[in-house]
Amino acid sequence: MVYFEMVKTALKTVLSKPATILYPVQAAKKTPISRGHVVQDGSKCISCSICVKKCPAQAIVLDKEAKTWQINRFRCVVCNSCVDTCPAKCLSMDTQYTAPATVKGIETFTITYVKPAKPEKKEEPKT
């Protein structure tokens, strides 16, 4: 009896349209909550490296001395962990999918955040 269920499923898939699309020939469906790729704003990044620690695919590399932030698009699984944990909110998830790539797939962003100067403490006179 199980054999008939398998034949029924096979015939159904042969006679119906495929469930997948031919991306990038056909455009993918986009919704407001689609996860396309991670976007980084270097002017807000405080180099805390929390995104590096939370990335399950180890796709993010932060070089504090060179002030660069890199993401390997081939390793990134678009899980949104880095975006959720960023305290400076410099990471966001764009709904646009990245173009197909044939080379390394590493994007480098320069961190331009300048730490604001601490206000000087006024000394109170001792009495």
pLDDT digits (tens, 9 = 90+) for 90-125: 999 988 877 777 677 788 888 887 777 778 877 776
Q: Are 98 and 38 in contact (CB under 8 A)?
A: no
Return the CATH number at 57. 3.30.70.3270
Domain presence at residue 12: no
Per the structure, the count of domains in the chain is 1
Domain extent for 86? 38-114
Residue 34 has pLDDT above 90, yes or no: no
Q: Are 115 and 45 in contact (CB under 8 A)?
A: no
Q: Where are the beta strands (DSSP E) in the chain?
A: 37-40, 60-63, 68-72, 91-94, 106-110
Domain presence at residue 120: no
The model's pTM: 0.67
Domain presence at residue 97: yes
Domain presence at residue 90: yes
Domain presence at residue 7: no
